[in-house]
Structure formats: structure tokens, C-alpha cells
Amino acid sequence: MSELRVERRDIVIVGGGPAGLAAAIAAHEAGIRSLTVLEREAHAGGILRQCVHNGFGLHRFGEEMTGPEYAQRDIDRAAELGIDIRCDTTVLSVENNRRVTCVSPTEGLTVFEAGAVVLAMGCRERPRGALGTPGTRCAGIYTAGAAQKLINLESMMPGRRVVILGSGDIGLIMARRMTLQGAKVLACVELMPYSSGLNRNIVQCLEDFGIPLYLSHTVTDIQGRERLEGVTVAEVDANRRSIPGTEMHFDCDTLLLSVGLIPENELSKGAGVSLSNLTSGAVMDDSLQTSVPGIFACGNVLHVHDLVDFVSEESFRAGQMAAAYVRGELQPAEILPVKDGPGVRGAVPQQVRKGLKEDVRIMFRPDAVYRNASAVVVSGGKELARKRSLIFTPGEMAVITVKAAQLLQAEDEGLTVRIERKDA
């Protein structure tokens, strides 16, 4: 047996999607040259490679791009800087001493001893098993992203007559893609009384093609022996229980699931990183550092974003902060907790370093739809920031900035983010 290869790096980045690429570019621009990105797939770019629709890059580049075009900008920039990206390389473990073990067909097993690690593994889709839908276990049931990969990367059509469960953006995008590529999409079925997808996608992916959206409905039965033959859809009550007598039957050979995304944190757990129950991502401070010193996280592995533009923005910061850590410029500090108040779920960062002399952006998801409301950050009795909006919805990440001068006035008990209705 050959000796285990051990290499030293200032920074190792796990994942070569938009988060990992942005972190790598920022770290390089901050002067780090000993830097490696580890990517499981054969190409960098992550999920953007299969997102061939447009709508990316409006915030970051001021133009509307497709996923592959957005990814290529970062891939080109990384190549220009000479950043080492190792594709076909699967990370097996990350340890709390920042040892990263990976394997690839060409290099075999390699251990990196890193000064800092950036976790950028992204998220994965909630599968059928997580839903407990009764019925047979036939072929023809895919997550929306799996179908997207088959069509957009592998030139294969998963089916011809399609029902989509879940009306998140990926499900809506796939309703349009399957229709454009020649399938018949019979219905999009949503358990909640509202869609978590963008209005734009409801209009342009469903209404444009006359695809009905059934709100407060779910799939209650799946039929078929070898291949899916049909599904039963029923209305649900306020407790999300199906209402007898409301059943509808659809003859279909394909069921796509678009029922939520979960940050992919198996490696983070192995490293002993504390995770949040609310975001399913790492608990982190304003420098994007996790509970394990020198391990940073960014992008969808940290919390599921709506727009890649914000993933890139967050990840640039993670790269800069990892570079600062390697240079010894990021000292351990006392922290102020950031807590969820009424109306707020999963505010990040969960901690802010005490005495920080920078503006801090706090992101969160509202727990319901609020019209004519304000997001407010308070500490002690003091209001540190307020942002009015005509609408806050769970489908759109809200952002509020606390100015440096205001932040310095925070009490030791920390910050609380809450939503205030105008009439309250």
C-alpha cells in the first residue's frame, strides 16, 4: 500500500459551485496563493450548469444571464487567476483540525492540511421518502432537480405526462422546461395555500402554458407497478389533512417533487460544526466562521438562498475572512447573539462579534406574509435598524443592514430581529 499523500494549503474550499468559486476568487484577490478547490463533479459550476433558464446575475452583473453563463464568468476568472480546481474529487471528511481527506480517480487518496477551510457544498433536494406519500414504489418519480439534470445535462427526457408536487421555483421552472421540450404537464400541486415560488415563475412557467396550479392540495396516492401510471390529488384542510371526496385522478408517467431544499452538511457534522435547527446550516458569526475555528461556510450549505447573486456576495466575504484568518488577522472575540423575534425565522448570522466596526447585514425568512410592515433590529430598549417594506413573504429572503455606529450601541444581551406591522 502506498503512503498517504499529505499536502499543505493555506485554504481548502469544499465545493466548486458558485459559492466555492466566489470564495476562491476572493481569497486569491486577498493575496492567498496556496489555495485548492475540491469539486465532486467533472466540471466546476455546481447546480448552475443545469439551470439553463435565464434570470441569474441581475444584482451582481446588472444583466440577465442563464445559469451556465453566470457560472462561466467565475470559472473564467478563477482560470485567469490560476486557481487550482480539482474536479472529480470527492471529499470524504473534514476534521476539526482542518484536515481534509479526499479521493479522486487520478490522484487516489489525498489529505490536505489547511490553514482555513471553506465549506461550500450547497444543498440537496428533499426526496420522496421524507414525505410519507402512500402508494407503490414504481419508476417515474423524480425530484425536480434530478429531472432537470437528465434533460439539461444528459439529453434524456424523464417522461411525457407529468404532475408536479410542490410549487417552489425549481418545480415551476421544470413545468416550463418539460412543456417546452415536448411533455404534457397536467398540474402543479401545492400543499400550502400559497406558492413559495416567484410571481414571475408562476406567470411565465405555469400561466403562459395553461398549467393549473392547485393550492392547498397534495398527492394522496401513487399508482403503477413497474412505471408510474397515475396519481391521486386531493384538497387539504387547514391542518394539511386531505379532505375525503375531493380526490382527482391524473393519468401520468412522471411525478416531479419540488418540496424543499436541505443544506448538505454531512461533512460539517463530521468536523464538529454546530448546526442551527432553523436554517439546517452552520451556526456562524458575521465573519462566516462556524463554531470550529478556521472553518468557514457560505452559500446554500449555510442557508438556502433565493438568488445566486447573494450566494456569490456572501461567499466573497467568506473567502476574504478565511484569508484574514490564515494571516492571523481574525482574532477570537466575544460575541453578541442574534435572535429571532416575532415574525422572523432563521436570522443569520446567529452571532455578531462584539465591538465590530462594520455594517452587518442580517438575512432572514419571514414566517408568513406581512404587508406594509417593518423589519426591526433591537437591542435592550434601543432600535438599531428599521426597514420598511410593502411586503415580506416567506418566499423571499429579507435583508436588513445594521450600521456600524448603531451596532456599537448594542447591549450584551444581543440583537433581536422582528417584524412589526404598521397597525401594531
Partner 1 sequence: MTERVITCINCPMGCRVTVRLEGSEIVDVSGYTCKRGDTYARQECVEPLRMVTAVIPVEGSVCPLSVKTASPIPKAKIAEAMRALGDLRLTAPITAGTAVLKNVCGTGVDVIATRTV
Tell whether residue 181 is a contact of partner 1 (CB under 8 A): yes
Look up residue 129 and give its DSSP letter. G
Question: Who contacts 187 (Cβ-Cβ below 8 Å, separation ≥6)?
Answer: 163, 164, 211, 212, 213, 214, 233, 250
Question: Who contacts 204 (Cβ-Cβ below 8 Å, separation ≥6)?
Answer: 176
Instruction: Quote the least distance from Cβ 369 to partner 1, whole Å.
Output: 9
Tell whether residue 72 is a contact of partner 1 (CB under 8 A): yes
Number of residues that bind partner 1 (CB under 8 A): 30
Q: Which of 137, 200, 269, 422 binds partner 1 (CB under 8 A)?
A: 200
Tell whether residue 390 is a contact of partner 1 (CB under 8 A): yes
Question: Who contacts 104 (Cβ-Cβ below 8 Å, separation ≥6)?
Answer: 86, 88, 89, 90, 110
Tell whether residue 33 is a contact of partner 1 (CB under 8 A): no
Tell whether residue 242 is a contact of partner 1 (CB under 8 A): no
Under a CB-based contact definition with an 8 Å cutoff, are residues 273 and 292 in contact? yes
Give the span between the Cα atoms of 20 and 121, in whole angstroms: 8
The binding track of 38-57 with respect to partner 1, each residue x by CB under 8 A or -, is -----------x--xxx---
Question: Who contacts 194 (Cβ-Cβ below 8 Å, separation ≥6)?
Answer: 215, 369, 393, 395
> Considering only 16-24, 62-70, 322-330, 337-345, which stretch makes contact with partner 1 by CB under 8 A?
62-70
Instruction: Quote the least distance from Cβ 391 to partner 1, whole Å.
Output: 5
Instruction: Quote the least distance from Cβ 176 to partner 1, whole Å.
Output: 9
Helix (H), strand (E) at residue 27 = helix 18-29
Contacts 24+ apart (CB under 8 A), 276-279: 276/346, 276/350, 278/340, 278/345, 278/346, 279/303, 279/304, 279/346, 279/348
Q: Which of 113, 396, 406, 414 binds partner 1 (CB under 8 A)?
A: 396
Q: Which of 41, 61, 68, 310 binds partner 1 (CB under 8 A)?
A: 68
Under a CB-based contact definition with an 8 Å cutoff, are residues 273 and 265 in contact? yes
Q: 130 or 180, CB closer to partner 1? A: 180
> Considering only 3-11, 25-33, 60-68, 110-118, which stretch makes contact with partner 1 by CB under 8 A?
60-68
Site for partner 1 in 138-157 (CB under 8 A): 151-155
Tell whether residue 302 is a contact of partner 1 (CB under 8 A): no
Q: Which phi and psi (to 5°) does residue 387 adopt?
A: -135, 120
> Considering only 106-114, 185-193, 194-202, 321-329, which stretch makes contact with partner 1 by CB under 8 A?
194-202
Q: 238 or 390, CB closer to partner 1? A: 390
Question: Who contacts 147 (Cβ-Cβ below 8 Å, separation ≥6)?
Answer: 158, 174, 178, 254, 256
Tell whether residue 223 is a contact of partner 1 (CB under 8 A): no
User: Which spans of this chain sit near partner 1 (rule: CB under 8 A)?
Assistant: 49, 52-54, 64, 66, 68-69, 72, 151-155, 180-182, 198-200, 202-204, 207-208, 390-391, 393, 395-396
